[in-house]
Structure 1
Amino acid sequence: MKYQTSLLEDWIDRLYIQLGIRSPDQLDFKIISERLRIPLDIRNLSSRIYEGEIIINSRLTPEEQWQEFGHELCHRLRHAGNQMFMPRPFFQLQEFQANYFAYHFCVPTFMLQKLDIPTSRQEAIYLIAVTFGVTCEFAEKRLQMYEEKLHVLKCSEISQAVVANSLNI
C-alpha cells in the first residue's frame, strides 16, 4: 500500500526541501524562521502574528513553543486578514487550518514514514514526541491522524480489489 500524500503534506515537504531540512534533528523553529526571513521573537505574551513577526510565548515548554510556531507559521504563510475583524466562521476556519497545519509541519509525513514505529501505542507516542520535539498529547493526535489515513487507504485498496474481482478484471 502506497501512502497517498495530501496537497498540504506535499506543500510542507517542498517547503522543507527548499529550506534544506530532511530529518527531524534539523527541525528548529529559530533556524526555520531565519531561513524563511520571517522575524521571530520569544516574549512573555501569548503566541501570535504581529505586523508580520511571529511571536512565541516564552512561558511555554520548548515542545509547546515548537507546536505554537507551526500554528503561527500557517497564519503567516497561508492566511490573510486580521482575525479581530473577520466573521467568526472565517476565524474558526483559519484556526482549524492552522492547527491541522501544525500537526503536519511539526511532524512531517515524509519524516514520520521513515520511523520504525513500535507496535506498542505508548512507545510509538513517546518515540514521535522525542523524535520531533512535541508533547505526548500532540504526538498521539498526529499518530492517530497518520493511522486513520493509512486505514482509509487500506479500505480503499480492499474495496477496489473486491470490485475488480467481482468484475473479473
Structure 2
Amino acid sequence: MISDYRQTDLERWLSRVYAEVGINHSSDLQEGPLAEMLGIELYYRPCPSMRYESGNYRCITVNSTLPRPVQREHFFHELGHILRGHTGKQHQMNPAFRQLQEAQAEQFVLYAAMPFFLLAPLLLSHHDWAASSVLSQEFGVTRELADKRVAQIKRRIISERMRKGGKTRRRKSAQ
C-alpha cells in the first residue's frame, strides 16, 4: 500500500531540507532547533501567530495561549510562508492571492509536521484504524491534522494505483 504513494515535488524538497539539517526521526522534528537550523528566530507570545521577514532577518511568533499541538501546527504554517517565499502584507493583498498563500501554507503543514519519510514506517506497523491516533501522538499534532494527512495519503495511493492500472490496460490492449 505505502509503496504506491508518490510524493509531490514539495514533499521531496522538504525531505532534502530536513536531511540537510539532520532530521531523521520524528523526535528530531522540534520547532526550536529546526527554526535555529534554518536561521529563524522563534518566539512564543500571547498574540496571534505570525511570521516576519526583513532582509536576512526571519522570525516566527507562535500564540502561546493555544494548546501545544495547535501551537506546533501554527509554527509549521508560518514556516511554510517563509520557506515557500510568500511575500506581502496580508491586509493589503488581493483576497484571492491571500487565499492562495494560506492554502499553500496549510498544505505545507501536512508535509512539514508529518513528513512521509518519517511517517511511512509508522503507517506500516499499525492497523489502519489506529494510524491517525499514533501519528497525532508521535508528531505532536491534533488528531484532526493526522486524520487529514492519512486521508491525503490514502487518496494519493488510490490515484497512483488507478494511474498504474490505466497504463497496464492500455499496454494490454495495444498488444
TM-score of the aligned structures, taking structure 2 as reference length: 0.91
- How far residue 56 of structure 1 moved from its aligned partner, in angstroms, is 0.2
- How far residue 107 of structure 1 moved from its aligned partner, in angstroms, is 0.4
Q: Cα deviation per residue 1:105-142 (whole Å; 9 max; x = unaligned)?
A: 00001112222253342x11101111111110110001
| Long gaps (5+) in structure 1 | none
CA distance in 2, matches of 1:63, 1:19: 23
Judging changes above 3 Å, is the alpha-carbon distance between structure 1 residues 120 and 17 closer, same or farther for their aligned structure 2 residues? closer
- Runs of 4+ more than 4 Å apart: none
| Aligned match of 2:71 | 65
Provide the secondary structure at the position in 2 that maps to 1:114. helix
Q: Cα deviation per residue 1:48-70 (whole Å; 9 max; x = unaligned)?
A: 11343200000112211111111
Taking every aligned residue pair, what percent have the same amino acid on both sides? 33
CA distance in 2, matches of 1:75, 1:117: 33
Judging changes above 3 Å, is the alpha-carbon distance between structure 1 residues 80 and 117 closer, same or farther for their aligned structure 2 residues? farther
| Aligned match of 2:96 | 89
Provide the secondary structure at the position in 1 that maps to 2:61. strand
Q: Aligned residue pairs: how many? A: 167
| Aligned match of 2:127 | 119
Q: What amino acid does structure 1 have at the position aligned with 2:80? A: C
Q: What amino acid does structure 2 have at the position aligned with 1:20? A: G
Q: What amino acid does structure 2 have at the position aligned with 1:67? A: E
- How far residue 162 of structure 1 moved from its aligned partner, in angstroms, is 0.8
- How far residue 81 of structure 1 moved from its aligned partner, in angstroms, is 1.4
Provide the secondary structure at the position in 1 that maps to 2:121. coil
CA distance in 2, matches of 1:111, 1:128: 10
Q: Of 62, 75, 78, which residue of structure 2 is paired with 1:56?
A: 62
- How far residue 44 of structure 1 moved from its aligned partner, in angstroms, is 0.1
Q: What amino acid does structure 1 have at the position aligned with 2:83? A: L
| Long gaps (5+) in structure 2 | none
| Aligned match of 1:30 | 32
